Amino acid sequence: MPSAAKKLSIVHNDEPAQTPEQDSLQESLNAATQESAEENVEVMIEETVEVTLQEVGQESEQRPEALRLLEAMLFAAADPLDEATLKRALPDGVDVKFSLGLLQAEYATRGVNLVRVGKKWTFRTAGDLSWLLTKQTIETRKLSRAAIETLAIVAYHQPVTRAEIEEIRGVQTATGTLDVLLKTAWIRPRGRRKAPGRPITYGTTEDFLSHFGLEEVGDLPGLDELKGAGLLEGTMPDGFGVPMPSDDASLRDDEDPLEPGDLELDLGLAPPEGQAEQGGEPDKSEK
């Protein structure tokens, strides 16, 4: 009986098994490599920060010092500041208007913008971000038709007295109408007319400009713009026009300064009780 053939299998082991000493050496090499890589990353970060700080420093050196001074004063001020006030705080020779223009351009794309309100300057939240600061509890109160008409007359015809407002409207103006506009701080007493009775003259305020997004009263729409917006319809009477408004704070030749105590007076006179406003149909908005 033939004997069973025995197979001889040869195993090639190209990588001999490592000894414990070799395993320990390999681990040390891996740890050293990782540590070296981390050190390289830290060096790269430090170099990047250093370059960035250098660039910021160079930019700071190139930025005019006047801009930093204007920036500080406008940020710290509780109210808008005019150019004369800013100029007094700046070194001699600084062009305030030019510097304000540079600062305005610099802040044009930021979260706050430098804006002009009347003849003064202030920082305001960018218009497209105003929703961030809007409170949902704001209560909106609609002005009466009489108040809107009175406000428009004051804006376009200032300085104007109550009698002149009534003449333009064609109806008698109740005390409440002027009171509402005075409380909203959209109109203010300017002075007294040099006429019998020396009536109070009224004009608009910076709050009026700010609320309606105007730089000056001269930005109010003219006759053509009002027609285009559909606010003036039908045939206009001969000679009808819209005056060019001006909010110059200086008193005119026909105005005297306000006297002490004028601002504490009740500046309007209510019509007799039960009497409708004069001229045409009664003004229901005043009732």
Residue 146 has pLDDT above 70, yes or no: yes
Residue extents of the structural domains in the chain? 65-132, 145-234+241-268
Say yes or no to pLDDT of 253 above 90: no
Q: Which of 94-108, 218-232, 244-258 has the lowest mean pLDDT?
A: 218-232
8 pLDDT band, cuts 50/70/90, is very low
- 224 against 99, higher pLDDT: 99
CATH number given to 145-234+241-268: 1.10.10.10
Average pLDDT over residues 135-155: 81
Q: Which two tokens stand for residue 122?
A: 């202030």
Instruction: With both helix axes pointing from N to C terminus, report the angle between 162-169 and 145-157 in degrees, rounded to the nearest 10.
Output: 110
| Identical fold, 65-132 and 145-234+241-268 | yes
The reported pTM is 0.51
Q: What is the pLDDT of residues 195-241, one digit of tens each?
A: 898 999 999 999 999 988 888 888 888 777 776 666 666 665 666 66
User: Is the domain defined by 65-132 classed in CATH 3.30.565.10?
Assistant: no
Above 50 in pLDDT, residue 188? yes
**Stretch 7-13: mean pLDDT:** 48
Mean pLDDT of the chain: 75
Confidence of residue 115 (pLDDT cuts 50, 70, 90): very high
User: How many Cβ atoms are within 10 Å of 82's Cβ, its own excluded?
Assistant: 13
Q: Would you state the pLDDT for residue 51?
A: 53
Closest by Cα among 137, 115, 133 to 124 = 115
Report the alpha-carbon distance of residue 216 to residue 231 in Å, rounded.
Answer: 21
pLDDT at residue 104, rounded to an integer: 92
The percent of residues above 90 in pLDDT, for the chain, comes to 25
SS (H, E, C) 64-112: CHHHHHHHHHHHHCCCCEEHHHHHHHCCCCCCHHHHHHHHHHHCCCCCE
